[in-house]
Amino acid sequence: MAVYVLEDKLFVLETENTSYSFCLDAQGFLSHLYFGKKIERKEDFFVPDKYSGTNYHPYRDAFMEEFSSFGMMRYKESALKVTFSDGTKDFRYRVSGYDLENNKLSLTLRDAYYPFEIMLCYEIFEENDIIKRFVRAVNRGEEDILLERLYSAELGIGERDMEIINFAGNWGAEFQMSADTLRAGKKIYESLRGTTGHSENPCFILHKGATEDRGDVYFGLLEYTGNFKVCAEAVSYGYTNMLIGISDTDFGVKLGSGECFETPAAYLGFTENGFSCMSHKLHDFCRRELMPETFADKPLRVLYNSWYATLFDVRCEEQKRLAEKAAGVGAELFVVDDGWFGKRNDDNSSLGDWYPDPEKFPGGLQELISYVNGLGMDFGIWIEPEMVNEKSRLYEEHPDWVYRFPNRDVLQCRNQYTLNLTKEEVVRYMIECLDRLLTDYHISYIKWDMNRPLGETGTCGENAACCEGDLAEQKEVWVKHIRNFYRVIKTVRERHPDVEFEACAGGGARVDLGAMRYFDEYWTSDNTDAFDRLEIQRGYSLLYPAKYMRAWVTDVPDALTGRSMPLSFRMHCAMCGALGIGNNLNRMDEAELDCLKKGVSDYKRIRHIVQFGKLYRLGELKKDELVGVQYVNGEESVLFVFLSRCRYGQREYRFRMKGLAENKLYKVEGRDGEVVKSGAFLMHYGLTLSMSGDYDSQMIEVREIS
């Protein structure tokens, strides 16, 4: 058992290495006591005395709380804001009971006057040192109740001046790590895009001078794909208060009689062993608990995607020639990206018309699929189900299906509109359309894209184009959209359980645990320049697993950056995740195709280490010319090293490995030949590598021999 309740008022949640504790305090509130390294003696936790400060202070803010609500003279950011039908705006609760079942605990907080309940839910994942939290709000009365904010988790950390890490990205520049010190006030990371977005991520990492290998790190992630908010507050009573959940900006849920609202889950963790350990715990947890079962324990196939080779100019014969070469270099899955449907010759038209363009596929799409299958590869296709172009049959037939305000022009982004997923008929259309595609054709992989953020999310339900409903209902659109997005993908997966789904949103705008629940991998970024990618992949890897990270080798000069790098460097960079190939194979010479083929075959040999191993980040591009990523899976390890710039004639570098057993012997094979060394030597002295020139790289395989 991992949850203990002492004297009905002290709650201690234990994982293998951490303790989490809170109590019912003398005033009847749930005070948060501790989260951190495991304290074996549970009896040491105690209910604090009454607040001993002066009565000039509204004292609630002085306590870390398990669940704070707006009002009651609390002035910090709180987890709940609710308005009752008579205008009362605070929540004065008493804990009416708790329920304990194996690794799950829930507590019911009931308002002293109004028939309104909050249920705080916890689940412990002992081996991964992760605690899941979510909240349920229930209206047990007759009158409507308006929920204006409900975070998934609140976490007090009894320290100040903590450093917080999130990301400050953009399209093509996802996962740029950003760090700030929380000295006073609030720091907010938020998405109002209706999806996670390229910029910030629904997560937090808090620490005080931690490194990859050492130091206390607290972390939290939200299982949600829509508007989110992470609020870190340096409360002036000497602690840091974290909140993570759905954003309360333009959020509102009207709870009618008997109705309930459940937040998405937040996952909280702690380690005293630095960022690598945090990543290991999270990567493993994701695979065990969140990834869809079909592929969670299987290595992902090497795919070829023809997007960068042909863009919108998709033609059956050319795709066949690409397919032959893709099969020749060892790809296992051939994917046709954007441009195969409707009259899609650029990004101005046809989203919504998901039937093959007869001019591009005179013999039908199945002709190409059969050809691809005949070459021994599976077939996959791109689709952007939530979107529609004005120039499309779908929009002509259903102009009322897009999000719009009644007296405004609809805003466009990449020339497209977003379908109003709060309408049942749109949900039905989307399910049928995907179902038909997967039933009519032998498709074994879908790249599900979403290339614009939501705009005018003001109308909902069956009320067609204009708003007739209650204004409070208008604010539910954001959450209803996501709920129905999950419904669509869940239904389609249930009907087609063997199909692999990739989540893409103009690159990495849907990298979150919400998408992970329903997709088998993410497209990390539209930026495939290997040098930029090293940084993007590094930031990504802090929280998300390599297995989930599709990474492609593409041509040079790179379309985005104009940079050229050797094929081996590009290949090694893409081999750090789930390998994909995006080159125009029809333009590559035999030597380049051979190099790709060798890379793919190397990758197939080591992919179980990359996709299922522990990932170690070695060096930092911003500081070091030479960086590496090492993966360790049991007795095997593989290391990729990248030299961005050769300077001052240096040709030898000593590189220390990680994650090996000190007293074991390892055979180390790379470009420089083969050596046998002890784990201690490789980790403390290091491996001497000869590297030279700009953009040199190596793959080194390490195998235990004793």
Buried b (16+ CB within 10 A) or exposed e, 627-654: bbbbbbbeebbbbbbbbbebeeeeeebe
520 with 291: CB under 8 angstroms?
yes
Beta carbon nearer to ligand GLA, 555 or 696: 555
Q: How far is the CB of 336 from ligand GLA (least distance, A)?
A: 10
665 with 704: CB under 8 angstroms?
yes
Q: Which stretch binds ligand GLA (CB under 6 A): 146-154, 242-250, 454-462, 503-511?
A: 503-511
188 with 180: CB under 8 angstroms?
no
Q: How far is the CB of 426 from ligand GLA (least distance, A)?
A: 22
Bond from prior residue into 557 cis (ω within 30 degrees of 0): yes
Q: How far is the CB of 425 from ligand GLA (least distance, A)?
A: 26
Pick from 504, 574, 641, 687: which binds ligand GLA (CB under 6 A)?
A: 504
353 touches ligand GLA (CB under 6 A): no
Quote the CA–CA distance of 427 and 558 in Å, as a whole number.
39
Q: Which stretch binds ligand GLA (CB under 6 A): 87-95, 499-507, 569-577, 633-641?
A: 499-507
449 touches ligand GLA (CB under 6 A): yes
Q: How far is the CB of 487 from ligand GLA (least distance, A)?
A: 24
522 with 505: CB under 8 angstroms?
no
Beta carbon nearer to ligand GLA, 449 or 512: 449
Beta carbon nearer to ligand GLA, 252 or 453: 453
Beta carbon nearer to ligand GLA, 79 or 437: 437
3-state secondary structure 584-613: CHHHCCHHHHHHHHHHHHHHHHHHHHHHHC
Q: Is the dihedral of CA 35, 36, 42, 48 positive or negative?
A: negative
- Residues 580-619: x where in contact with ligand GLA by CB under 6 A, - otherwise, as a string: ----------------------------------------
Q: What is the DSSP string of 101-137?
A: ETTEEEEEEEESSSSEEEEEEEEEETTTTEEEEEEEE
Structure tokens at 131: 């605690």
337 touches ligand GLA (CB under 6 A): yes
Q: How far is the CB of 70 from ligand GLA (least distance, A)?
A: 39
Structure tokens at 285: 């947890």
57 with 73: CB under 8 angstroms?
no
Q: Which stretch binds ligand GLA (CB under 6 A): 183-191, 200-208, 227-235, 504-512?
A: 504-512
Quote the CA–CA distance of 227 and 138 in Å, as a whole number.
22
Quote the CA–CA distance of 445 and 549 in Å, as a whole number.
15
402 with 464: CB under 8 angstroms?
no
Beta carbon nearer to ligand GLA, 488 or 504: 504
Beta carbon nearer to ligand GLA, 212 or 337: 337
Question: Any residues with CB less than 8 A from the CB of 631 and at least 6 apart, and which?
Answer: 546, 606, 609, 610, 613, 614, 615, 616, 637, 638, 639
Q: For the beta carbon of residue 92, count every other beta carbon within 10 angstroms.
A: 16
Q: Which of residues 291-320 bind ligand GLA (CB under 6 A)?
A: 307
431 with 172: CB under 8 angstroms?
no
Residues in the chain: 706
Q: How far is the CB of 488 from ligand GLA (least distance, A)?
A: 19
**Minimal CB distance residue for ligand GLA:** 338
Quote the CA–CA distance of 149 and 190 in Å, as a whole number.
14
Q: How far is the CB of 347 from ligand GLA (least distance, A)?
A: 6
Q: Which of residues 506-565 bind ligand GLA (CB under 6 A)?
A: 506-507, 523, 526
**How many amino acids of this chain bind ligand GLA (CB under 6 A)?**
11
Distances (CA, A) of 580 to 41, 330, 570, 575, 577: 50, 11, 11, 8, 9
Beta carbon nearer to ligand GLA, 233 or 337: 337
Q: How far is the CB of 676 from ligand GLA (least distance, A)?
A: 43
Antiparallel, parallel or unpaired: β 266-271 and 130-139: antiparallel
Pick from 196, 349, 422, 451: which binds ligand GLA (CB under 6 A)?
A: 451
Q: How far is the CB of 380 from ligand GLA (least distance, A)?
A: 12
Q: How far is the CB of 526 from ligand GLA (least distance, A)?
A: 5
Q: How far is the CB of 311 from ligand GLA (least distance, A)?
A: 8
* DSSP code for 385: T
Pick from 154, 338, 520, 696: which binds ligand GLA (CB under 6 A)?
A: 338
Structure tokens at 84: 């009752």
Beta carbon nearer to ligand GLA, 33 or 504: 504
Beta carbon nearer to ligand GLA, 111 or 337: 337
Beta carbon nearer to ligand GLA, 300 or 638: 300
Tell me if residue 627 falls in helix, strand or coil.
strand
Q: How far is the CB of 537 from ligand GLA (least distance, A)?
A: 16
Q: Which stretch binds ligand GLA (CB under 6 A): 275-283, 324-332, 463-471, 502-510?
A: 502-510
448 with 430: CB under 8 angstroms?
no
Beta carbon nearer to ligand GLA, 239 or 308: 308
Q: How far is the CB of 505 from ligand GLA (least distance, A)?
A: 7
CA-nearest of 28, 185, 9, 17 to 98 is: 9
Q: Which of residues 361-400 bind ligand GLA (CB under 6 A)?
A: 382
Positions that interact with ligand GLA (CB under 6 A): 307, 337-338, 382, 449, 451, 504, 506-507, 523, 526
